A and B are shown apart, each in its own frame.
Chain A
Amino acid sequence: MGGQREKDEGDAALLRAVAAGDPAAMGTLYDRHAGWLHARLTRRCADPEVVREVLQDTFVTVWRSAGAHRGEEAGGWLWTIAARRLIDARRAQERSGRLETTPIDTTRTGTGTTPSAPSAEERVLAGLEYGDVGTALDRISPELREVLRATVVDGLTTRETARLLGIPEGTVKTRARRARAELRAALAQLAPSPMGGPA
């Protein structure tokens, strides 16, 4: 126990050790997953202080409830916890009025920057070459893309997405529908057969 762990020690074994109260296993787990969780959170939340709090909450939660891990992919499990923590943080923020802008009114402009992605990133993207899906995604508005990401990539429910983005549930549903329609249209425009080559 403790000390130097093998590099390829399985996540499941690590989580069992964490559940048994082994801080060294916690350290290993943190080093393996905290970095990508931080990057993923940063892409979804522009406030570095919130990202930091959520990351810390996530791992403290893992420390307390590793015993509840049911053997699914550890990475997916960690992200589930982190996404829930991020939603909670957004709600707390809204309650204390710290959230300066909500994306509700930026839909009409269609050019508003995504609150969860820095505008610098958008500028970088504009000069890059990427595949059809990327091009299609880039054509739909940041608000729609944000809804797609929360529901499709992060696997959140409509309700959770609404909390995360600070918009009503009805708006989430409308935007998800529109995002799919626009994505389909954009793909059809790029190539007659959207199932063409890999992106």
Chain B
Amino acid sequence: MTGWHAPETLIARYADGSLPDADAWSLEKHLESCTSCAGRVSGAVRATSAGTVLADVRDAVLAAAAPAPAEAAPQDLRDAVLAAATPAPPEAPPLRTPRLLWAAAPAVRGAWLPAVLLVVLSAVLLAHVAGFSGARPLLLAVAPVVPVAGVALSYGRHADPLHELAASTPSAGLRLVLTRTAVVLAVSLPLLTLAGLVLPSPGAPGAVAWLLPGLTLTLAALALGGWLGLRTATAVTGGGWLCAVLAPALASPDGAVARHLSDQLSAYVGGAATQGGWAAAAALCALLVAARRTAYDRLERF
């Protein structure tokens, strides 16, 4: 607010399009913040040949504006506040089911679902056809990474062709990430756990032992995602887990990979104390995600 206002001659020449660029540019910048000059210029433009167009568009805009508030006329102050807080389009809201599908679809699209099925199938085949006793430890070692990978593949520009649209909706950010994570978990939890149940392996931890580590790694990926972006975060958590479990077993000198893997897993996921630790870590990650929920609105910067 400089107290400066555009002189009439400047306004008249801007309105009829004869003002040189340099002057026009500074007037345009001024109009962005000066309501009174904006009103004066608009009045001057209405007086030119553009007046009829402006009147036509005014009618069209007000026609578009009129019917919606007639139905949804605010009954009281609370309605008015709610209406202001949720700038919903005036048309009827779409059905719930397609919206949910739209929200969830990219989570189970593409290569991820076949990959989950492949993991499950090969574990079962290894155990029952090839008679490989280490099938369950191997499955348990890989299983916690499966939902993490699903999360990485479910949100963002690289995963979702509709992402730009999705990101501009009110449900974008954490809400959409969580919806898609839930879908990923809903698909992978029963599949992997069932597969674990049908695998015989006397020495390895139980078939459900992977659930808490899997959940924790997924939440850790989400929490880290707020800082690093989802893809990097999932690579760090998933890759970290695989290294921690597989590397010592593979590096063992005597070649008894299955047994070492089994020992490794028992150390990581077997026993009440370890599972309690995973649960505590999961809660911590969930708290982190909740505390930094606004960070997920800007995931696309990564």
Contact = CB atoms under 8 A, between A and B. Distances in A.
B69 A21 contact: yes
B175 to A, nearest CB: 17
5 tightest CB-CB pairs across the interface, nearest first? A35-B42, A35-B45, A21-B69, A67-B87, A134-B22
A10 interface: yes
A124 B57 CA distance: 29
Interface residues of B, number: 51
Interface stretch (B46-54, B201-209, B248-256): B46-54
Contacts of A20: 74, 80, 83-84
B61 A39 contact: no
Interface of B is mostly: helix
Contact of B33 (A30, A52, A73, A131): A73
B29 A153 contact: yes
A131 B25 CA distance: 14
A165 interface: no
B34 to A, nearest CB: 7
B125 interface: no
A48 interface: yes
B64 A60 contact: yes
Nearest to B47: A35
A23 interface: yes
A75 B68 contact: no
Interface string B59-92: 0111011101100111000001001111101100
B84 A75 contact: no
Contacts of B31: 36, 40, 75
Contacts of A33: 38, 42
Contacts of B57: 34, 52, 55-56, 59
B32 A21 contact: no
B87 A56 contact: no
A131 B22 contact: yes
A6 interface: no
A35 B41 contact: yes
Interface stretch (B13-21, B217-225, B266-274): B13-21
B58 interface: yes
B72 A38 contact: no
A64 B17 contact: no
A156 B29 CA distance: 13
Interface in B95-142: none
A16 B60 CA distance: 21
A43 B86 contact: no
Contacts of B85: 67
A197 interface: no
Interface string A136-180: 011000000100010011000000000000000000000000000
